[in-house]
Amino acid sequence: MGPVLAGVLQLLALIAALALAYRPLGDYMARVYSSDKHWRVEKWICRGIGADPSTEMRWPAYLRGVLAFSAAGVLFLYLLQRLQGVLPGSLGFSAIDPDQAFNTAASFVSNTNWQSYYGEQAMGHVVQTAGLAVQNFVSAAVGMAVAVALVRGFARSRSGELGNFWSDMVRGVTRILLPVSVIAAIVLVACGAIQNFSGIHEVGQFMGDSQEWNGGAVASQEAIKELGTNGGGYFNANSAHPFENPTPFSNLFEIFLILVIPFSLTRTFGRMVGSLKQGYAILGTMGAIWLGFVALMLWTEFAHPGPAFDIAGGAMEGKEVRFGISTSSIWAVSTTLTSTGAVNSFHSSFTGFGGGIALLGMQLGEVAPGGVGSGLYGMLIMAVIAVFIAGLMVGRTPEYLGKKIGSREIKLAACYILITPALVLVFTAAAMALPTPGNSMTNSGAHGFSEILYAYSSGANNNGSAFAGLNADTQWFNTTIGLAMLLGRFLPMVFVLALAGLLAEQRPVPATAGTLRTEKPLFTGLLVGAILIITGLTYFPALALGPLAEGLAA
C-alpha cells in the first residue's frame, strides 16, 4: 500500500469516527447546557466559590465571571511555578523565572498552551498536575461556556439573560470534559502512553551512553490536552514523543480527540436554536475548509520536487517515521485550524507552502472547526458578518436566526475580527524592527520572518504550536507573547458576550420572502468566501514576505 493511499484511508477512518460521534455527543452537550437540574457535586463546587448556579446573568455579569475566574487562574498558576522549588514532587527542579512563569500562566489559562520551556526539564509533578492539567480542563470549559452564552443570545428573546457562567463552566468540566478524558486516558494507556509519578531515572543507550528520563501522569494530561484543544505537552517533543503518542493508532485517536467536540458543538448549536439545519450549515462550512486545507497540505508535502523527496516518498524531514507524511499533515492542519498547540512533527521543516498553510489555518481565526467553544463562537461571528454583507448586496436589513443585525451588532462583530490581526501584526512588526528579538532567530530571510509571524499568530489566536527555530525563552518573547495570548483570548470574549446580550434583548422577526436562507448551501459558500477573503486581505502582505516567498523560491 502506497503512502498516499494509506493517508486517504486514515483520513476516511477519521471522518467516519467523527461522523459516528457527531449526533450523540452534540445532543448530549445540548442537554447538559439546557438542563435546569444541578448535580450535587456541582452544587458543592458552586457553594465553595460562593456562586449561585441558578441565578441568570446578563452579559456584563457573565463577563465579570469569566474575567474574575481567569485572573484567579493566572495568579494561582504563576505562584505555583514560582514556589515550585519548595513543593513536594518537584523532582529537584527550581522555581520558574518570573517572565517564563507569567508566560506559562497566561498560556494555559488562555487555552493557548504555548511552551517556552522543556517540560521534562522544568516542571515537577505538582505543577504539571495541579497546575497545568487543571487549567487544561477549566480553560476549555470557559470557552465552551462563552459559546453557549452566544447561542442562548440567538435562541432567547426580550430577556438579555445568557445563563449562569459558574454553572456552565462547572458543567463543562464535570459532565463533558472529565468523563470523556477518563475514557480517552484509558485508551492511551492501552496504546502505551505512560501514567505514573516516578522520579528521574537513568536510561542506557545503544551506543553505551545514558540519559535521564522522568515519568509522570502523561496519558491523563494527553487526553485533556487534545480533547480541550489545549496542546501543552508533558515533554518537549510534545505529541511526537513516544511516551505521549506511542503508535499510529494513538496518533489518529488523538486527532479525533482534537476535532470531536468542536465539530459536535455545531449539532449542539442547531439543537439549542431549534433548527438542526442551521447547525448543519455551520458544520458544512467548517468541514469544507478543514478538508480543503488537508488536501492542500497533503499535496504540498507529498509532491515537493527533488530527488531526496522522491526517494523518501515526500517531505519526510522533521516528521516521525511512526506517523509518516499523511497523518503528520492531517495533524498539522487539525492542530492549526483548532486552538491546539500539540504537534507531532516539526512545522519549521515543512515545505514553504506547507508552513504557509499551517500559518493561514491559525490566521483564519481557528474557526474550522476551531477550539473548544471558541471555534463555534468565532464561526457565528463570521456568520453575522456574512449575513451583513449579503444584506448590503440586496439592499435589505440583514437578519440571522430571526435577529436583526444592526449597526451595534456589526460594530461588535467587526471589533472581534480586527483585534487578533492587530495583535499579530503589531507585535510581529515590533519584533522584526528591534535588534534584541532578532537575535533569537536561527534563520534569516523569509524563513526567519515566518518564525516570528508564526509565534505571534500562534499566541494571539490561542493556538500554542511553534514553528520551531526560534528561541522564545527570552524576556521579550515571554512577555509580549504572554500579552498577546491574554488579549487575544479575552478581548474577543468581551465583544462576543456584548453581542450575545444585544441579541438576547431582541424580539425575533418573522422570516419573509426576502430573508436570506442561512441553512442552505448558498449561505455556506458565502460564509466560506467571507472567511477566506477577509483573512486573505488582512494577512496576505505578511504571508507574501514569509512562507509564500520561501515556497516560490524553492
Name the nearest CA neighbour of 122 among 80, 99, 90. 90
Q: What is the pLDDT of residues 284-305, one digit of tens each?
A: 999 999 999 999 998 888 876 5
Kindly state whether residue 457 falls inside one of the protein's structural domains.
yes
Task: Give the mean pLDDT of 471-486.
Answer: 91
What are the cell numbers at 463? 493556538
pTM of the model: 0.93
Residue 200: predicted pLDDT: 72
Of 146-155, 171-180, 234-243, the least confident: 234-243
In a domain, 155, yes or no: no
Residue-wise pLDDT for 44-64, tens only, equals 999 998 888 989 999 999 999
Give the separation between CA 444 and CA 74, rounded to whole angstroms: 35
Please check whether residue 38 is in contact with residue 53, taking contact to mean a CB–CB distance below 8 angstroms.
yes
Q: Does 130 have pLDDT greater than 90?
A: no
Spatial contact of 518 and 383, defined as CB atoms under 8 Å apart: yes
Task: Enumerate residues 6+ apart whose C-beta is below 8 A from 118.
Answer: 236
Neighbouring CB atoms inside 10 A of 192's CB total 14
Find the helix packing angle between 374-394 and 521-545, rounded to 10°: 110
- Would you say the C-alpha torsion 165, 266, 526, 155 has a positive or negative sign? negative
Number of structural domains, the chain? 1
Give me the mean pLDDT over the 197-213 stretch. 69
- The average pLDDT across 124-135 equals 88
- Amino acid, res. 411: K
pLDDT score for 315: 67
Domain holding 508, by residue range, is: 365-553
| pLDDT value for 204 | 67
pLDDT tens per residue across span 270-286: 999 999 999 999 999 99
> At a CB cut-off of 8 Å and minimum separation 6, what does 416 contact?
378, 381, 492, 495, 496, 499
Instruction: Quote the CA–CA distance of 266 and 287 in Å, as a whole number.
Output: 11
Start-to-end C-alpha separation, the chain = 30
**Is residue 538 in some structural domain?**
yes
428 in a structural domain: yes
How does pLDDT run across 489-529, given as a tens digit for each residue?
A: 999 999 999 999 999 999 888 877 777 888 999 999 999 99
User: Which candidate, 137, 119, 138, places its Cα nearest to that of 81?
Assistant: 119
Instruction: Identify which has the larger pLDDT, 123 or 260.
Output: 260
CA distance linking residue 382 with residue 86, whole number of Å:
48
**H or E stretch covering 274:** none
The verdict on residue 103 lying in a domain is no
In a domain, 484, yes or no: yes
In a domain, 4, yes or no: no
Residue 536: Cβ within 10 Å count: 13
In this structure, is residue 547 part of a structural domain? yes
Residue tagged 526567519 (cell numbers): 448
Q: What is the pLDDT of residues 423-455, one digit of tens each?
A: 999 999 998 888 776 667 777 778 888 888 888
- Could you tell me how many residues make up the chain? 554
pLDDT > 90 fraction of the chain, expressed in percent and rounded = 55
In order of 325, 326, 450, 461, 551, the CA distances from 350 in angstroms are: 10, 13, 12, 21, 10
